[in-house]
């Protein structure tokens, strides 16, 4: 079913259409929220809020543009709002967290955990850009549209995010200076 048909079904109040809408987009929205926020419960709450907001505002969607980037834009904005609220409540602690050193051979789960820790240390713009491009597999133009930035800025942020992630993973012993991984999957 194409995006326009799905939206039309949702706008007419078709329960199956709404169910299909949520099933189609909940995985992408949750994955983005989880990578952005780093906590499962926060991600679940923000993903649910994002999908509900998308459904409430479906009539505002421009049918010429793809639906997925529009929904992910809502999710990114909800993540930003959540982080801003969380940061204003948690300003009492502003210290570095000492992370335990990783083992020399990481499993798949450990690698995902290391990557998540590294992602959380990136600037918000770099992390969002990186996740939209690599995890959500959106084009540079779609990422630029979601983040309301020029394509060149997105390219720069992607480059910096990759470089910083590599440095963070090297510092944690996950990859060597030559870029060889110290893990097996």
Q: What is the pLDDT along the chain (185 residues), one digit of tens a residue?
A: 789 999 999 999 999 999 999 999 999 999 999 988 988 999 999 999 999 999 999 999 988 889 999 999 999 999 999 988 877 765 544 444 445 554 444 455 577 788 888 888 999 899 999 999 998 899 999 999 999 999 999 999 999 999 999 898 888 887 666 555 544 33
pLDDT value for 172: 81
Cβ-contact 131, 38 below 8 angstroms: no
**Spatial distance between the Cα atoms of 100 and 115, rounded to a whole number of angstroms:** 14
Secondary structure (DSSP) of 124-163:
HHHHHHHIIIIIS---HHHHHHHHT--HHHHHHHHHHHHH
- 29 CB contacts (<8 Å, ≥6 apart)? 47, 50, 51, 71, 72, 75
**Spatial distance between the Cα atoms of 137 and 114, rounded to a whole number of angstroms:** 21
Cβ-contact 47, 90 below 8 angstroms: no
Instruction: Classify domain 1-88 by CATH number.
Output: 1.10.1740.10
Q: Among candidates 89, 50, 45, 46, which has minimal Cα distance to 70?
A: 50
Q: Among candidates 139, 122, 120, which has minimal Cα distance to 65?
A: 139
pLDDT value for 182: 45
Domain ranges of the chain: 1-88, 106-185
pLDDT value for 185: 30
pLDDT value for 178: 59
pLDDT value for 93: 44
Q: What global pTM score does this model have?
A: 0.67
Instruction: List the beta bridge partners of residue 181.
Output: 175
pLDDT value for 71: 95
pLDDT value for 87: 72
Q: Does domain 106-185 have CATH number 3.40.50.20?
A: no
Cβ-contact 10, 58 below 8 angstroms: yes
């Amino acid at each position: 079913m194409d995006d326009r048909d799905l939206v039309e079904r949702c706008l007419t109040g078709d329960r199956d259409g709404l169910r299909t809408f949520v099933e189609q987009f909940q995985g992408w929205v949750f994955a983005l929220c989880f990578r952005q926020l780093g906590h499962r419960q926060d991600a679940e709450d923000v993903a649910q809020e994002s999908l509900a907001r998308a459904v409430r505002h479906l009539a505002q969607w421009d049918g010429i543009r793809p639906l997925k980037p529009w929904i992910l834009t809502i999710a990114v904005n909800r993540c930003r709002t959540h982080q801003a609220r969380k940061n204003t409540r948690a300003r009492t602690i502003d210290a570095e967290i000492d992370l335990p050193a990783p083992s020399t051979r990481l499993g798949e789960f450990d690698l995902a955990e290391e990557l998540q820790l590294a992602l959380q240390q990136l600037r918000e713009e770099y992390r969002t850009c990186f996740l939209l491009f690599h995890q959500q597999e959106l084009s540079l133009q779609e990422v630029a549209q979601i983040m309301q930035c020029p394509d060149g800025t997105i390219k720069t942020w992607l480059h910096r995010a990759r470089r910083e992630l590599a440095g963070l993973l090297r510092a944690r012993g996950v990859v060597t200076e030559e870029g060889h991984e110290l893990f097996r999957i």
